[in-house]
Structure 1
Amino acid sequence: MHPFFKSLLITCHAAALCLSAARAEQPNFIIILSDDQGYNDLGCFGSPNIKTPNIDQMAKEGRKFTSFYVPSPVCSPSRAGLLTGCYPKRIGMEKHVLFPKDNKGLHPEEVTIADMLKARGYATACIGKWHVGHRKPFLPTNQGFDSYYGIPYSNDMVHPDNKGKYRGSQDKLWLNQDEMVKLWNTPLMQDEEIIELPVNQRTITRRYTDKAIEFITANKEKPFFLYLPHSMPHIPLFVPEDAYDPDPKNAYKAVIEHIDAEVGRVVDTVKQLGLSENTYIIYTSDNGPWLWFKNHGGKADPLREGKGTTYEGGQRVPCVMWAPGRIPAGTETDAIASTIDLLPTLAQLTGSPAKTRGEIDGTDISPLLLGTEKSVRDEFLFYTSNGKLEGLRQGDWKLLMKKGKAELFNLAKDIGEQQNQAKEMPEKVSHLLNRMRKLDEQINHQIRPQGKIAG
């Protein structure tokens, strides 16, 4: 062989080895997102009756985040924020949830976590509830994901226009699972096609997990990103027969314990494939519990209120992060963090440029993952379910403006938001009010349009 070509071959081979080594060092990421799960609805977060041994074990082997927030108290805006690292208002997604008749969604030009990681050579998959636009331009396959399998919106919504929804007793539904599942004309999609209508919701949590395990196994030799947003425990509640408890009072408990078992299957797969030292698993919820539904909804104790509110119970959610050898085991942090911080954090962990369509609101919290107790984020804005600015947390202090009246709480001493100190501390109220308006005004100048199609 001519020396030149031999040298070229050696150089190419060395480059290929370097690329292969670099890819091998890139960590995998799995984000597991439950729907409407309360702060108190895990054993490791204090639930007195819900048994979650698998997620509790993740906490023992990883880190609990006890001041972890979502950017909206309802699901569509919250999910859009997680995917893009932005407050929903910045990307035009703040106006409550999307419905089957809507012709709008997350703009395809927004850069999602999946877009960012796919550009780094990651295999990407979304398996579960999407709910940031079910029309073709807004589906996961047009938002950075190689594949999609799941329900495109909430599991209480029906195809094609949400008409004829079941509005009866949730207890009655629970007692007649096999029959009642037929009342929800909710679709299951594969990529961009409906493959099951109505979807059998009794088996959907397990089927999501089956697909997740298939994806992890198929991509064990390359870096991957799996976004696994479960449809449960959003009502209506369903479980397979082997997880069923006939007492409606235990409906919510049964669903969470079933999710926990399925999370255990995912973690076991990662361990069995020898991927645990190179995989981050993040478990959290999209917003607080739907208290209105009582035994079909969760609890946010000791927090105040739940889903749909800007009180802590609406937006502070349980979070566990797991990565043996990377995240210190058996630790917890009360530093402020949020789902909008995940995109810049994953960018830092992969050496990716956090380049997006425009400005983002997230901050790199990788030091918190890796063990520091120093708060990376000191402020967090609170917007209502319709996108109205309502509050700011700064350090231990939280200000809410409810119908023009100030509510001021010291969360370090009053996590349940019961002692309004606004009258005693007018200067603190004025400071926080001016600061939250300033931050919001910055976003107002940089709002990007929501995606829309004619029809």
Structure 2
Amino acid sequence: MSSYENKLSRRAFTGAVGVAAAATAAGLGAAPAQAAETPPAGPSEREFRASRGRPSRRPNILFILGDDLGWADLSAYGAPHIRTPNLDRLARQGVRFTDAYSGSATCSPTRFSLYTGRYPARTRGGLAEPIADKSVGLEPTHPTLASLLKASGYATALIGKWHAGYLPDYSPTKSGWDEFFGNFGGALEYYSKLGLGGEYDLYEGDAAYEDLRYYTRIITERAGEYVSRDHHGRPWLLNLNFTTPHWPWIADGDTEQSAEIVRRIKAGDPRALWHQDGGSVEKYKEMVEDLDRSVGEVLKALKRSGQEEHTIVVFSSDNGGERFSYNWPLSGSKASLQEGGIRVPNIVRWPARLEGGQVSRVPVFSPDWTATLLEVAGARPHPAYPLDGVSLAGYLLRGEEAVERDLFWRVRGERALRRGNWKYYRGKSGRDQLFDLAGDIREQADKAAVEPARLAELRAAWEAVNAGLLPYPA
């Protein structure tokens, strides 16, 4: 067993993973890793088998992504002032990961890692931190979670924030999603839909779509419609990418604040959307709680559709928290490779196969979900584009120990690698540091001087991965 506790109890049962041609998914039934919380006792293996029969079809997949949502911004993760009953319920119904990470520390690189299952720096577009112009994007020739699932028979859609390139060269509909409704850029004003460059940024497919209502309401409505739709017997993938609670700090009903930001955008203020003179802890709370309500609406629509049992729901964030996020006790925030910049809330639920009330301390990150979802859907990665993520199916589905491997990150000026509970980190100071996260989640007790051999080993491991990645442009 590794230094983190990753062995499942034998409440799990064995399930076979089928290939795409067989259209048969893995069976789920994980029991909890030992964690900070003790989940309620579950049924015996015999009882679980009796109550959760093997599914007759591959699961639908609903992957929900918050935007700049910090690790502790949900009440299920310890926020003392934010109430998120819908996401808390989702956690109680599935597995809540305490040591989950984004694929990078900012928006678009993490999306690249999730869409492709690979380190962002495998592609030119992933080197932008984040993408801010039309020069780069996710190449349509690169396999994605959507294109691979589509090839195996899935209907696919992306609703919300894409942030992996702009028209005319880059789009979800060019990268495997049958349908797209949302925004291309990294941020937009919630009512006018004006983006960072002052452009209008709400699209259906590759055509502009006018709707001046509050953005979170619009995409929640669209997502509810999608999960309620008759897909004619086909399983489906929906990537639901909220912009909430990303700046500007505008909640539903803040029309006067919206009008002022629009005025500044039209006057040529390039920083208007950053809203650095606005927002508050209370406004941020309002936005996070609105995200929670929106997720609840989509999940209610899913339940009404009769598809809840056979739908995998994954919830996460694209990076750590921003200005008003509740990040305690983590250090750092968005754009940093300290824990506060990359550790995120992460929940998975599959009622037909996954026992609820579970908490896991196993370290996971965004590309792992790409690998996991491909496996449970019976789809294969493209052999020319090997995944950097590791499937969690064996751990979640078959009671196996989690695979022990390193988690790697690189952003301009910073580097990090986690192995077990040990984390190697070099920030912009250029100083190599070593932290034992088991007893120092805040990254304050630097062990570099007392563990020089371990530091050297982890630094060498980071260098070995980095040698196979694209260099940053000069």
Fold in common (TM above 0.5):
yes
1:179 corresponds in structure 2 to none
Task: Return the letter of the residue paired with 1:400.
Answer: Y
Task: Return the letter of the residue paired with 1:62.
Answer: G
Q: Matched residues in 2 for 1:239 and 1:217: separation?
A: 27
1:290-305 to 2 correspondences below 5 Å = 290-291=322-323, 297-305=324-332
Task: Return the letter of the residue paired with 1:148.
Answer: F
Q: Is this contact kept in 2: 1:73–1:308, CA < 8 A?
A: yes
Q: Is this contact kept in 1: 2:86–2:293, CA < 8 A?
A: yes
Q: Matched residues in 2 for 1:160 and 1:52: separation?
A: 29
- The reply on whether 1:393 has 2:418 as its aligned counterpart is yes
- The reply on whether 1:86 has 2:118 as its aligned counterpart is yes
Aligned-residue RMSD, C-alpha: 2.9
1:357-372 to 2 correspondences below 5 Å = 357-370=384-397, 372=399
C-alpha deviation, 1:151, in angstroms: 1.2
Q: Matched residues in 1 for 2:62 and 2:313: separation?
A: 5
1:42 corresponds in structure 2 to 74
2:295 corresponds in structure 1 to 263
* TM-score normalised to structure 2 length: 0.78
C-alpha deviation, 1:69, in angstroms: 1.1
Q: Is this contact kept in 2: 1:345–1:364, CA < 8 A?
A: yes
2:352 corresponds in structure 1 to 325
Q: Is this contact kept in 2: 1:155–1:186, CA < 8 A?
A: no
Q: Matched residues in 1 for 2:423 and 2:244: separation?
A: 30
Q: How many residues align?
A: 399
| Structure 2 unmatched ranges of 5 or more | 1-20, 26-54, 258-277
1:453 corresponds in structure 2 to none
CA gap of 1:248–1:426, structure 2 versus 1, over 3 A, is closer
Equivalent residue for 1:419, pick from 416, 421, 445 = 445
- The reply on whether 1:190 has 2:204 as its aligned counterpart is yes
Task: Return the letter of the residue paired with 1:95.
Answer: A
Q: Is this contact kept in 2: 1:31–1:281, CA < 8 A?
A: yes
Equivalent residue for 1:404, pick from 430, 454, 466 = 430
CA gap of 1:259–1:371, structure 2 versus 1, over 3 A, is farther
* TM-score normalised to structure 1 length: 0.81
- DSSP-derived class of the 2:303 partner: helix
1:308 corresponds in structure 2 to 335
Q: Which has the higher helix share?
A: 1
Q: Is this contact kept in 2: 1:69–1:317, CA < 8 A?
A: yes
C-alpha deviation, 1:210, in angstroms: 0.9
Moved more, 363-372 or 153-162: 153-162
- DSSP-derived class of the 2:209 partner: strand
Q: Matched residues in 2 for 1:87 and 1:117: separation?
A: 20
Q: Is this contact kept in 2: 1:74–1:308, CA < 8 A?
A: yes
1:228 corresponds in structure 2 to 240
Q: Is this contact kept in 2: 1:38–1:318, CA < 8 A?
A: yes
Q: Is this contact kept in 1: 2:23–2:378, CA < 8 A?
A: no
Q: Is this contact kept in 1: 2:187–2:196, CA < 8 A?
A: no
Q: Matched residues in 2 for 1:336 and 1:20: separation?
A: 30
- Following TM superposition, where does structure 1 have runs of at least 4 consecutive aligned residues deviating by more than 6 angstroms? 18-23, 157-161, 242-247
Identity %: 32
Q: Matched residues in 2 for 1:357 and 1:35: separation?
A: 31
Q: Matched residues in 1 for 2:247 and 2:103: separation?
A: 21
In our comparison, the structure showing a higher alpha carbon Rg is 1
- The reply on whether 1:274 has 2:306 as its aligned counterpart is yes
Q: Is this contact kept in 2: 1:390–1:401, CA < 8 A?
A: yes
Q: Matched residues in 2 for 1:148 and 1:377: separation?
A: 36
Equivalent residue for 1:96, pick from 129, 134, 137 = 129
Q: Matched residues in 1 for 2:382 and 2:439: separation?
A: 39
1:181 corresponds in structure 2 to none
Q: Deviations over 1:155-179 (max 9, x none)?
A: 248999945xxxxxxxxxxxxxxxx
CA gap of 1:162–1:40, structure 2 versus 1, over 3 A, is closer
Q: Deviations over 1:269-308 (max 9, x none)?
A: 22112111110011110001112xxxxx312222111101
| Structure 1 unmatched ranges of 5 or more | 1-17, 164-183, 292-296, 451-455
